[in-house]
Amino acid sequence: MAQQNSSEEVDLGYMFKSIGGIFKKLAGFLFLVIAFVRKYLLLIIGLIILGIILGYFLDRNSVKVYENRLIVIPNFESVEYLYDKTDELNFKIQSGDSLYLKEIFGEKYKAVKKIEIEPIVDIYNFTTKSRENIDVFRILFENQDMKEFVDDMTTSKQYKYQKLKVFIHGKDSKDLLEKFLGFLNENEHFKEYQEIYIQNTSKRLSETDKMITQADSVIKAITSTSTSTNPNPPVYASFNNDFYSIFRYKDVLLKDKLELLKKSKDEVAIIKPVSINYNILEGGFASLKNIIKIPMLLFLLFSFIFFLRFVYLGLKRIAQE
């Protein structure tokens, strides 16, 4: 027992000694930092002042590239068209096709730097659109990993909402994005589709309203018959069954009407913007103003040079010993 206690005391003593050694090293490092700052204080202050002056002039003359985020709905089977046009515009921007870009964005076409597109993944909405989508989902999912299936570009293009990121040099984003959306919505083929879809949706809404009115009439007739005096139980059961069937039928019609009303609101444009967020700057060091960033970089560079010098002298001393 005494031997065990002695062993534990040795272990604790070693642990405290190790912790003490770490604190000594930290204290030594802190002393070196303070000594370095003290020795070169005037030079460091001069670098900071120089950095503030340089940062001020850079901030005054520089224009940042802002990210603009759009959520859109491609209507009338136009999702492939949207992806193709995005790829085409990116190619024209990279190749510097000024004539083509000027027709779309006007004189400030050079401000548009890049366009990105990605789907907003919504498996539930995709699979519940129709029975056919559920069957397609089941077949594809059986032969593919879930994550691969969700991220697959063929599947991704079928989601209702798509996210666009347009990177623009400067804050003149609103006008450029309006021209961009105008360009996307000028396709004659999809304009013809739009007319057909709008007419079809309007007709379906009208027919659905008629069927709802008819269902209400049947429900009213069943209700009034069931409340009349009738001693035959099977007839009551029949009334109850009929009432439930018609009620369920009306519920389906109301859900169909809701979807048609939503569809009629979406069909106002080929590529309908749902939301637009202008002039977003990501957080982090890169988004800091130059008046803060430049002095920090100068100080870090100065410190790094002297750190290398300190390491070099230490290695030289070891080599000479």
pLDDT at position 261, please? Answer: 93
pLDDT at position 235, please? Answer: 47
| Whether 269 contacts 156, CB under 8 Å | no
Cα 70 to Cα 163: distance, rounded to the nearest angstrom = 6
Over the range 51-83, which residues count as b (16 or more CB within 10 Å of their CB) and which as e?
Answer: beebbeeeeeeeeeebbbebebbbbbebbebbb
pLDDT at position 274, please? Answer: 92
pLDDT at position 141, please? Answer: 58
Q: Calculate the CA dihedral of residues 132, 135, 141, 144 and round it to 10 degrees.
A: -80
Whole-number Cα distances in Å, 189 to 75, 85, 159, 225: 12, 14, 22, 54
| Whether 270 contacts 77, CB under 8 Å | no
DSSP 76: T
List the Cα angle 140/143/144 in 5-degree steps: 85
Digitized pLDDT (tens) for each residue of the chain, 321 residues in all? 545 455 555 555 556 566 666 767 677 667 767 777 777 778 778 777 887 778 777 766 666 778 899 999 999 989 999 999 999 999 999 888 889 999 999 888 888 889 999 888 776 665 555 555 566 566 655 665 555 555 555 556 678 899 999 998 887 788 899 999 999 999 999 999 999 999 999 999 999 999 988 888 887 777 776 555 455 544 444 555 666 788 888 888 898 899 899 999 999 999 999 998 888 876 555 556 777 777 788 778 877 887 777 677 767 777 776
Indicate the helix (H) or strand (E) that contains 306.
Answer: helix 290-320
